[in-house]
């Protein structure tokens, strides 16, 4: 293994694994902290998918350190801490403490902070994160059910979370190329700065940044920064040319969609699926609480639908409805009730013959994958930037696509199936 990645949620892990795969590294995704003593799969890069974005800080730190230990033991020469391209963090903020702990473990004096992902509209300028044409705090991320983002300054966010000053590699420096970036990072490090936000607007910028950090033992950022890393290993003669992602063959069986994502993109995709006549059932968190809906009933409904179209089981709702649920049940309880139900639904669907499953939402995917007892995923073809089909390597015989809330075109739920044989 050359590169080890610690991803703070499930869909973020498939996102970065796809990026590495496309850039020519054979990449495997493992779910959860690998048990001590177990061997990691043979690959150029291994991505460990954690649920550490929203866990209590101490748990997030402990899991990330344990994942780091396993990756180092597996031979990783460089560690990437992958978080969301919209820097999603709870009020306490797990990104800073996790980065601090990893930096200490790895002896990293300075690490970059680069959530940019131009293909999905995430760019960084003067240290401010933009989503499409608006700053992060004006985007739909301000209303996220678990990690509402109300500040767009990455330097301020990181400084507050990591309790240390954060510097900037500005856009003019990035445009000047890898040597200029290296010099700027060295200057920041000499000044005692531990984190440097890097401006990036395009894939070319990410390639420049990737080149500039070839010697860094720790990187932090979104999947975009992974784009420029395989070239370093190739340049060092450590990575042969690899063929692009393979087509995936889906086992015979039924197809379905589970969505707990309340993001704007997902809600648009649900609208398109409803308009296309997909059989759909809406899950109501209050009904889960009072028992009028339960996992057994939801799965039974799904399995009873005609198999000519994928079914859709979804709890996705608009911000006002989600806020009303959270007011009554509490933010965490609302989330966990729905996630718990979907994990059980997924288990029952797999037992009932569903072999092609599309899941929308990072937390929802995390719960679903754990519910299904999946340990390892092999990365397949890209449906849209950041979202591949994956094949379950150990676990039920099926293919799954784990979609980050805000990723994918409006017809995502309609077109995804076309990439499967
Ligand atoms: N109707 C609802 N009311 C309240 N909470 C809900 C509702 N439906 C889903 N949730 C919760 O909202 C959260 C959605 O987070 P999730 O990470 O799954 O989606 P997302 O944020 O859109 O995706 P990503 O993290 O990939 O951007 C989950 O905890 C889910 O259980
Ligand atoms: O970086 C992103 O936006 C995604 O991979 C993600 O982490 C969403 O949960």
pLDDT in tens, 148-193: 999 999 999 999 999 999 999 999 999 999 999 999 999 999 999 9
Vertex 103: Cα angle to 129 and 210 (nearest 5): 50
Give residue 237 CA to ligand 2 midpoint distance, Å: 31
ipTM above 0.95, yes or no: yes
Neighbouring C-alpha atoms within 13 Å toward the C-beta of 256: 33
Find, among 385, 397, 379, the residue nearest to 44 by Cα. 379
**Distance between CA 110 and CA 112 in Å, rounded?**
7
* Ligand in closest contact with the CA of 282: 1
pLDDT surpassing 70 at residue 340: yes
Res 170: pLDDT:
98
Residue with tokens 């079914």: 311
Ligand 2 lined by 362 (C-beta under 6 Å):
yes
Q: Which residues contact 305 (CB under 8 A, 6 or more apart)?
A: 279, 311
Percent of the chain with pLDDT over 70: 99
pLDDT surpassing 70 at residue 246: no
Ligand 2 lined by 378 (C-beta under 6 Å):
no
Structure tokens at 76: 């990783």
Residues at CB less than 6 angstroms from ligand 1: 9, 11, 144-146, 260-263, 266, 285, 315-317, 322, 325-326, 334-335, 338-339, 361-364, 404-406
- Total Cβ atoms within 10 A of residue 240: 10
Ligand 1, atom nearest to 404 Cα: 26
Structure tokens at 142: 């301000």
CA-closest residue to ligand 2 atom 5: 12
Ligand 2, atom nearest to 13 Cα: 5
Q: What share of the chain is helix, strand, coil (3-state, %, to 5)?
A: 45, 20, 35
For residue range 189-245, list pLDDT tens digits in order: 999 999 999 999 999 999 999 999 999 999 999 999 999 999 999 999 999 988 766
**Are the C-beta atoms of 258 and 391 separated by less than 8 Å?**
no
Find, among 31, 25, 4, 13, the residue nearest to 403 by Cα. 13
Indicate the pLDDT class of residue 145, thresholds 50, 70 and 90: confident
CA-closest residue to ligand 1 atom 27: 405
Neighbouring C-alpha atoms within 13 Å toward the C-beta of 117: 22
**Distance between CA 222 and CA 219 in Å, rounded?**
10
pTM of the model: 0.94
* Ligand in closest contact with the CA of 8: 2
Ligand 2 lined by 404 (C-beta under 6 Å):
yes
């Amino acid at each position: 293994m050359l590169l080890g990645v610690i991803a703070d949620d499930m869909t973020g892990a498939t996102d970065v694994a796809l990026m590495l795969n496309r850039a020519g590294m054979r990449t495997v995704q493992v779910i959860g902290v690998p048990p001590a003593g177990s061997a990691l799969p043979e690959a150029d890069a291994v991505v460990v998918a954690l649920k550490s974005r929203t866990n209590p800080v101490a748990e997030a730190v402990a899991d990330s350190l344990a994942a780091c230990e396993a990756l180092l033991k597996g031979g990783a020469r460089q560690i990437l801490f992958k978080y969301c391209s919209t820097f999603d963090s709870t009020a306490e903020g797990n990104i800073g403490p996790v980065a601090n702990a990893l930096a200490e473990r790895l002896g990293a004096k300075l690490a970059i902070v680069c959530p940019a992902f131009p293909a999905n509209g995430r760019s960084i300028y003067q240290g401010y994160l933009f989503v499409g044409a608006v700053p992060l705090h004006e985007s739909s991320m301000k209303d996220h059910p678990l990690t509402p983002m109300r500040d767009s300054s990455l330097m301020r966010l990181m400084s507050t979370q990591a309790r240390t000053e954060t510097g900037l590699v500005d856009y003019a420096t990035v445009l000047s190329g890898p040597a200029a970036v290296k010099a700027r990072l060295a200057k920041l490090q000499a000044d005692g700065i531990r984190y440097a936000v890097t401006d990036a607007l395009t894939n070319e910028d990410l390639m420049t940044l990737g080149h500039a950090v070839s010697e860094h033992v720790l990187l932090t950022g979104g999947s975009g920064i992974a784009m420029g890393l395989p070239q370093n290993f190739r340049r060092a003669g450590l990575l042969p040319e690899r063929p692009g992602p393979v087509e995936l063959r889906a086992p015979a069986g039924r197809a379905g969609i589970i969505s707990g994502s309340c993001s704007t993109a997902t809600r648009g995709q649900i609208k398109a699926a409803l308009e296309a006549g997909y059989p759909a059932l809406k899950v109501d968190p209050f009904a889960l609480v009072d028992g009028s809906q339960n996992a057994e009933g939801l799965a039974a409904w799904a399995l009873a639908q005609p198999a000519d179209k994928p079914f859709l089981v979804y709890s996705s709702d608009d911000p006002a409805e989600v806020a009303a649920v959270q007011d009554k049940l509490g933010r965490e309880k609302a989330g966990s009730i729905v996630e718990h139900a979907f994990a059980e639904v997924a288990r029952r669907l797999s037992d009932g013959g569903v072999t092609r499953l599309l899941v929308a939402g990072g937390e929802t995917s995390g719960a679903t994958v754990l519910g299904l007892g999946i340990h390892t995923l092999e990365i397949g073809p890209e449906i849209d930037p950041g979202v591949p089909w994956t094949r379950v390597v150990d676990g039920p015989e099926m293919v799954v696509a784990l979609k980050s809330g805000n990723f994918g075109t409006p017809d995502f739920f309609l077109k995804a199936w076309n990439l499967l044989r």
